[in-house]
Amino acid sequence: MTVSLAEIREQSGEVFTDGCPTRVVLDHIMSKWGVLVLLALTDGTHRWGELRREVEGISEKMLASTLRTLEADGLVVRTAHPEVPPRVDYALTELGHDLMEHMLPLVGWVARESDGIVGRSAD
Amino acid sequence: MTVSLAEIREQSGEVFTDGCPTRVVLDHIMSKWGVLVLLALTDGTHRWGELRREVEGISEKMLASTLRTLEADGLVVRTAHPEVPPRVDYALTELGHDLMEHMLPLVGWVARESDGIVGRSAD
DNA sequence: CAGGATCCTCTATGATACTG
DNA sequence: CAGTATCATAGAGGATCCTG
């Protein structure tokens, strides 16, 4: 099992340096809203309006922006149905599912440990 | 294995909602510099100056700020040696190692897949 | 309904200089 | 060496109105 940055670099080269593509991807998928949107989509396909409600507190602007970024990255697929009123839904691509398979253990850990972390400064 | 947000919520309750502590922790550990600092520390204890060089591009201000946050969260431990000139080093706590054990698979995935993701918009 | 366009705010982040 | 203090700024993010 991989346990250090050094091991990752043995396999993938000098990653996570300044200007490295890995930093861009990190910014996309680990951004404030990126994680939450991806997370919501692990429950399956969602419509725009559903995502707005599911990802509590996100503004329309950030939802649109986040979805466009994730779509450009090939992690999310957008499907517009030719109807009136419009219906558009979003889902994870295969790459997106692959990503979330690796991210969910971390997210699960955060869900379990957060109570013990936040407010610790008040010790 | 956990495969969706719904499953996480079955186990941990209504997490990742607005105002939930999980969002704060997410912001700390998945912040631009938080990830990179934590990642650098998976290689072992580092001195302040080493971290500045290891985490390419980070400013002194952000390094200080990031380290203080992670220390307050109990993920990183700071040790000041009573010497002249001063020597201070930083290391992951047990909790920090536990966290990184869950984060490294994701980081490894990013290292492997990033080339295929960035620039995809130029298809 | 699903966004686009605008305007505005604030905070994360940077650059520089200084100190125990 | 290991920071802190200050000043400055871009861009993340929010609120609102508008439209196919």
Residues B5-33: tens digit of each pLDDT: 999 999 999 999 999 999 999 999 999 99
Q: What is the pLDDT of residues A113-123, one digit of tens each?
A: 999 998 675 44
CB atoms within 10 A of CB A117: 21
B19-122 to CATH, choices 1.20.1070.10, 1.10.357.10, 2.40.50.140, 1.10.10.10: 1.10.10.10
Structure tokens at B35: 């990830």
CA distance A5 to B93: 17
Strand D-proximal residues, CB under 7 Å? Answer: A 31-33, 57-62, 85-86; B 47-49, 60-61, 64, 68, 78, 80, 85-89
Residues in chain B within 8 Å Cβ distance of A77: none
3-state secondary structure of B50: helix
The model's pTM: 0.95
Please give the interface size between A and B, counted as residue pairs whose CB atoms are below 8 Å apart.
174
State the nearest Cα–Cα gap between B74 and chain A, in angstroms: 7
* Average pLDDT score, chain A: 94
Instruction: Select from A39, A44, A102 the Cβ nearest to the Cβ of B16.
Output: A39
A3 versus A63: which is more confidently predicted? A63
A10 touches chain B (CB under 8 A): no
Domain spans, chain B: 19-122
What percent of chain B stands above pLDDT 70? 97
- As to burial, measured by CB atoms within 10 angstroms (0-12 exposed, 13-18 middle, 19+ buried), residue A61 is exposed
Contact B41, B90 (CB under 8 A): yes
Residues 6+ apart with CB under 8 A from B38: B29, B70, B75, B76, B92, B96, B99, B100, B103
Spatial neighbors of B59 by CB under 8 A, at least 6 apart, are none
